[in-house]
Structure 1
Amino acid sequence: MARTVIIEDHGGPEVLKLVDRPVGDPGPGEIRITQKAVGLNFIDVYQRTGLYKMQLPAALGMEAAGVVEAVGDGVTHLKPGDRAAYAAAPPGAYAEARAMPAAQVCPLPDGISFDEGAAMMLKGLTVDYLFTRTTPIKRGDWVLFHAAAGGVGLIACQWARSEGINLIATAGTDEKCQMALEHGAAHAINYRNGDFAARVREITEGRGVDVVMDAVGKDTFEGSLNSLRPLGMMISFGNASGPVPPVDLLALSSRGSLKITRPTLFTHIADHATCQEMAARLFAKVTSGAVKIEIGQRFPLDRIAEAHRALEARGTTGSTILTL
């Protein structure tokens, strides 16, 4: 048995329940993992509220780190006793232990702690696909990144700096803007102080940015389009402020033949070999010191509702983990 967070109905943080559930043995292609730390992400909120539909009752959580206890038939890249971390479907990471598919579970280097592993996999692999797999981005290019003081954002700031990319960060307070600058952003804009798109134009001397990376959604979408240069790419990869309304494709034409995509991490990591390659790039960034994983908050598993409230209120910085 393992303590596990589930929901039986969609709704607010009050629907989160901590229960004891059987773990079971791993089947073919699976592992059983005892978890040491669990990551908190906005996708967990989307699933809890029903924005992303789930069959109920359901366990939540997509990211964790721990020790492999057993492996099923066909699993060759992990063995009992291995340290491991993952961002993977199906949900169920909010647990002391679980049996789960092995393909997206990655061996965790000794130089990375369990807390860091739990804080970095979903967020760091997201940054990897944003910068390496979505559209070509080269040294000297300009990227606008929203919510840059969050877990994904602080990794993105450092990643951009390590690649010679000029990242313009936005955040909701001067303190968060300063944090983004300290982590490698070339410029930072407090979006509460006016039109961020106008400020982007000033910074880029009227040209606009090559790429926008926007996980905020509804509140920033229009300004994001207004920040792009002709032929620029809009990457909408989250909905923290709500879903983006329907888009008039002619608006992309009139703004300069803009491009737009709505990717998800789990498409990029669906292939086992690709997932392991992406994780290797992320681990190399961290072990080299180019990227430091900032853990801003820790909550015990039994305070999961409080953790969700803090995340939704944008009251967190860096990554948030659940301790076990």
Structure 2
Amino acid sequence: MDRSPTPERPRRAAPKRARTTPVTVANVKTGQTSKENKPPSSDDDNDVDVGVLLASLPPQSLLPLLTSLLSAHPSLKPVVLSLIPRPTLDTALQALATSAHKLRDAYPYSSPPFSQAGLASTFGGFGGGFGSNKSNTSASTTGFGFGRLTAGPSFGHPHSNNTGMRDEYIISRLRPHISDFVSACFSYLPYFSNVSAPLTSPSFSKPSNSMDIQSHSSALRQQHKDKLHPTETFLFLSALTTHILSQPPLTLFSLAPQLLPRLSEEWKAWVDHIDEVVNRQGGMFGKETVNSWERALDEFAEAKGNGMEVMKEIRDRWVSKVGWLVGRQPMEEL
């Protein structure tokens, strides 16, 4: 018998040639990242102790580093603020005094343009006789003793400065120092604030971040409200008011609109807090402390010009609510 034909075997394809292109080059051409070009892994990050590196830096370099970090990541600001310890009253008063001193020194005058130069240069005499307070800030027993506080003539008055320079030029010289002083005031105010409602953002702030400023300020007040003491709040507000009133007239003209709305809110909130403690909670304050409040508010009530007349309203508000602590009645002011 004839044998059946053997089926054809499938032909094998020619063997592929070995790839001669380097892997790294091929990966780059295909959009892949080579092992050498990959970003450091989390394991590599864990090998670096940032604390060790920070500890080796000089102290003066830490503030610019932290400022740059906050500029690059603004969302970290609330976290950083929550970690900063509450400043003491002495620290806050010293910061205000330093900033106010720089602002006065920036004024281009050859002779003192205002009558309260002695008050402005010696804050140590301010606050004497305030009675007991937690920080023992008082350094004198002479009380205020600076007479009538007058905010000075209005902007553009022919006698508003005695330097021979145009008012507009002087204001332009003072503007950055005014901004620094206002910034210092608003930075410390939340730690000594009795205001519970959201506050209007300062006029020097940009509208784009006004809500952030309000939220940060409110968060700080909420965080530290249990640490407030009425005497500390009074001392801070009194110092701030004194520094404002001790500025030359042209400085005060630019300064008052930026600080006065917030300052009046803070004073009113403080008076309302004293009213709550004394008239509703049955609390009391020492005689010397209350007498010091009375003397200070009477002095501030004499201020005139640039809207500082609001301090008379603050004094009258205090008399109407808690003036009975010193034997005063509202009808005395009529």
Q: TM-score range by the shorter chain?
A: under 0.3
Greater per-residue strand proportion: 1
- Structure 1 length normalisation: TM-score? 0.22
- Structure 2 length normalisation: TM-score? 0.21
Larger relative contact order, structure 1 or 2 (CA cutoff 8 Å, min sep 6): 2
Greater per-residue helix proportion: 2
